[in-house]
Every structure is written in C-alpha cells, then in structure tokens.
Amino acid sequence: MDKVALTQAQKEAYMREALYEAKRAQVIGEVPIGCVIVLDGEIIGRGHNLREHSQDATMHAEMLAIQEANNKVASWRLVDAQLFVTIEPCPMCSGAIINSRISEVYYGAPDPKAGTVGSLMNLLTDERFNHQAAVESGILKDDCRQIMQDFFRNIRRKRKKNKK
Amino acid sequence: MDKVALTQAQKEAYMREALYEAKRAQVIGEVPIGCVIVLDGEIIGRGHNLREHSQDATMHAEMLAIQEANNKVASWRLVDAQLFVTIEPCPMCSGAIINSRISEVYYGAPDPKAGTVGSLMNLLTDERFNHQAAVESGILKDDCRQIMQDFFRNIRRKRKKNKK
C-alpha cells in the first residue's frame, strides 16, 4: 500500500483530537497542551500535559502519547506514525520524537521560548541525528494558541483577585 | 548551608554508582548506560537503559532516574540536584534535565553521534532556554566508554558466529 498524504481536513480532524486532550489538561488546571499519534488512520496514542498533578517533569503531552503508542504497537519504533500536538515541542519531546522514529509532526502554534521544531532551532530536521521527521506547523493555530492564552489570562486574573 | 563543590573522589564515587546501573542494563542485553541523581549527598534517583525490554523509546537511563527523583522529592523541580550519567545525554534527556531544573550534570564519555551536551551542540548551556545546568565531562571516561565498546564488540561477535 502506497503512503497517501493527509488532506487538510484530516489534519484538522486529528488536531481537534489533540485540542480535546489539551482541554482535558485545562479542566484540571494543567497548562493546556494535548497530543495524539496516528498510524494508518487510527489514533494509537493520546496524551495531555500532567506535570503538576504528577509532579513529574517528564509528563508532557507528547511523552505520554509516545509511551501509549509504543505500548499499543509493542515496539519503540513508530515508523510511519504521525504526531499531532497543539504547541511546538520542547527539546525533551523533540528528542523523544527522534528516538521513536515518528515520520511526521504537525503542530498548531509555535512556542517562541522553548520550541525546538522551528522557533529556537529545528532538532527534527537536523541531519546529524540518525532520524529526521517531516514537519508542518500552523494546523488550527488560532484555536491552539487561544486555549493557552485563555489559561494564562485566567491565572493572572485569579492572582490579581487574591491580592485584593 | 552553603553549597559545597564536590571533590573529584565524590564525583567518581557517584559515577561508579552510574556505572553499576549501566552494568544492570548490560546483563539483560540493553545498551549499557546508567544514571544516578544526587541531592544533598543522597542518591534520590537511579536508572538504566530499558528501551528493548520495555519497547518504550523514552526509557533511557536519565529519564528513569529523573522520574524516580521527582517521585522521591514529590516535586518536578530538582533544583540543586546533580545528575551523573555514563554517556553524554541525547536531546530527549538533555531536555528532561532542563525541564526538571537539575543544577549540575556530570557525564563519563561523549556520544559523538547523538550527544547534545557538548558533541553536536550544548542544549544545557543555551541561554535561550529558561534553565541552564553546569556541565563537567570525562568522569571515569575510560570505564564508561569501555563497557559500551565491550557490549557492541560482543554483539558483532555473536552476529559473525551466527552467520557461520
């Protein structure tokens, strides 16, 4: 079977699933970032940021989705898989994408402070590593950014209220 | 209490603990990389590479040590902690070190193919990220390199034997 490129509608449908994961983080007070991993049209891994609840620095959305996908296919290799994440990955998650051999990465909004898939550098296209991934950014960018902005605005509002 | 710099003997003692972890990986057929995390003179996290047994791409020595340390101190923040790892960290583990705010990183031998703490780049001293770690390499370098060389030589030998 030849690989068929995803349509824009398919990319947006998977990013909506990542946004749904982001909302699951939001409702429990975690920074709202979500991720899904797709293989042959099926979602094989899902994750949302759980850093505060777990008090574990490694529990980013992408890490949890990769771990679930590895478990699902019973292999650390996720060749031909596609990862959808609402915000540009950090170095840890970029490295996990390299380590798991994910083929394609789609993200919504950039992270100018810690993003390493285009903002500060691009680890996923660096040919010195033994794996590269195709990258496309900007899928449902406004929605992915908005849920983050609302979250942080809400925090500032609460802090202000508590000071009064 | 003022922070007291580690002596060379202390650094080597902790690296020997990381080497002990590497040997635990070696005996079960995993690439022999080990790691310990130290806080106030106490080892609060240990890990060795478990990628093949777990079939989980994220199960590097450093990741497991960080997760254990986070759990031990009940916080994702490992400020003032020291990480000892036998081989130079990859991008994923370098990123997890940044994310967990570890203060000092000591490694044995460099990884010229995937190391991002001096070889291909240095993510831990890049001031664009919101955290930097002090880095020292070369602690028990020969021992850390030797266990890797022995491991891969053994694999090549077995392959040759199977071909006959």
Chain A touched by B114 (CB under 8 Å): yes
User: CA A28, A71, A53 angle in degrees (round to 5)?
Assistant: 20
**End-to-end CA distance of chain B, in Å?**
64
Could you give the percent of chain B with pLDDT greater than 70? 98
**For residue range B16-54, what is the model confidence (pLDDT) as tens digits?**
999 999 999 999 999 999 999 999 999 999 999 999 999
In CATH terms, the fold of domain A8-162 is Cytidine Deaminase; domain 2 (3.40.140)
pLDDT-flagged residues of chain A (< 50): 1
Convert the pLDDT of each residue in A124-163 to its tens digit: 999 999 999 999 999 999 999 999 999 999 999 999 988 8
Percentage of chain B modeled with pLDDT above 90: 93
A131 is known to lie in a ligand binding site? no
Name the catalytic one among B21, B30, B62, B88.
B62
- The answer, yes or no, to whether ipTM is higher than 0.85 is yes
pLDDT of residue A1: 46
B62 part of the active site: yes
Residues of A in contact with B63 (CB under 8 A): 58
Eight-state DSSP code of residue A130: S
Which residues of chain A does B110 touch, with a Cβ-Cβ cutoff of 8 Å?
A: none
Q: What is the pTM of this model?
A: 0.96
Q: How far is Cα A75 from Cα A98, in angstroms, rounded to an integer? A: 15
Helix residue spans in chain A (DSSP H): 8-27, 51-54, 61-73, 91-99, 141-163
Q: Across B50-127, where does the E strand assignment appear?
A: 82-87, 104-109
SS3 A94: helix
Query: CB atoms < 10 A from the CB of A82, how many?
Result: 23
Q: What per-residue confidence (pLDDT) applies to B1? A: 46
A75 at B interface, C-beta within 8 A: yes
Domain chopping of chain A, boundaries: 8-162
What is the Cα–Cα distance from A102 to A43, expressed in whole angstroms? 14
Q: Residue A83 forms beta bridges with which residues?
A: A37, A105
Q: Which of A55, A90, A128 sits opposite B76 (nearest CB)?
A: A55
- Cβ contact (<8 Å) for A99 and B92? yes
